[in-house]
A = this chain, B = another copy of it.
Amino acid sequence: MTAKRPATLHDVARLAGVSVATASKALNGRRHVSTTTRADVLQAAERLAYSPNTLARGLVAGRTGMVGLLTSDLEGRLSIPILMGAEDAFGADRTSVLLCDARGDAVREGHHLRTLLSRRVDGLIVVGARPDPRRSIGRDLPVPVVYAYAPSDDPEDLSLVSDNVAGGRLAIRHLTEVGRRRIAHITGDPSYSAAHDRAHGARQELAAQGLELAGDRVYFGAWSEEWGRSATRMLLARHDAIDAVFAGSDQIARGVIDALHSSGLEVPRDVAVLGFDNWEILAASSQPPLSSVDMNLETLGRVAAERLAAAFDGKLGSGVEQLPCRLVPRESTAA
């Protein structure tokens, strides 16, 4: 940005000591360029503040190298990992993913959408604030759109979501693998489909193993530590024979651990505790560190990018695609 005359591809090639063709390949992320050469070219491009005529290049290739991520996530907790996964899949030196936050406000979302479209983004990723269906941003948009985390309410749209039923099954499978049999389930707000899906998966896996849920019922409540604490107190008052709690979120799990400790029970010796979300700040800092089911948000982002990239050359699919969760074991469920 400091050069008086804008640097050209020739300047970059000269500084990197490679041919113009090689510099071009390296900058466009094509194969057949060694990692070292690529690094040299990128460094040269950076030193010269080389900025290809992006619009012109976009017109030629039919692409502008910019994808919009439209979110309503107030904390960035969901959208930043999805953004990172998408950018990694595109290649960060080929496509910038730009995030706009609509905060759940339709007017603001419309404004951001117009801004992104007027800048001729190549595609859009729409991330909801909660995993329930959200309003479609519309058909007939000039670019392909993929919904991630929250599905679109229009079945003609393509949505990528975490498979919460499979996540519930995974949780129970892990707890039984470490020898637990009397497993209770404390989860969040019953207005969230994800709460029911996780509980459904948990029941499926228990049934497959000839087990029943401990504590008679699923404890639905709120996505909070406070609910984890009070539900655990209720549970212990009525059913002292539990040896594990599957919590519907890491926040709930933190409350569960607190209440177990207050009742003189040790985790995992007396009761194993498993969370959901694998939110590092809560899970890794817990005492003991909390095992948790991870929704693979970066993978959602990566697959969203792949679907968009495929749509640049052809057709975008439709419907809801479920992606698997994974289990991250820590001490709270150690055998």
Contact = CB atoms under 8 A, between A and B. Distances in A.
Interface stretch (A17-25, A133-141, A159-167, A316-324): A133-141
Interface string A125-155: 0000000000001111110000000000000
A104 interface: no
Given A65-B115, A229-B287, A255-B285, 10 more contacts: A1-B137, A1-B142, A2-B140, A49-B138, A50-B114, A68-B98, A96-B111, A96-B112, A98-B99, A225-B285
Interface of A: 1-2, 42-43, 45-46, 49-51, 54-55, 65-66, 68, 73-77, 79-80, 83-84, 87, 92-93, 96-101, 103, 105-108, 110-119, 137-142, 224-226, 229, 251, 254-255, 258, 281-282, 285-287
A287 B225 contact: yes
Contacts of A105: 92
B98 A100 contact: yes
A1 B100 contact: no
Copies per assembly:
2
Nearest to A80: B76
Nearest to A79: B76
15 contacts: A1-B117, A1-B138, A1-B140, A2-B139, A42-B107, A50-B114, A54-B119, A65-B115, A66-B119, A73-B76, A84-B101, A84-B103, A93-B108, A99-B101, A224-B285
B80 A118 contact: no
Contacts of A287: 225-226, 229, 258
A118 B51 contact: yes
A287 to B, nearest CB: 6
A279 B117 CA distance: 34
A104 to B, nearest CB: 12
Contacts of A282: 281
Contacts of A79: 76
Contacts of A51: 114, 117-118
Nearest to A57: B118
Given A80-B101, A251-B281, A287-B225, A115 B96 contact: yes
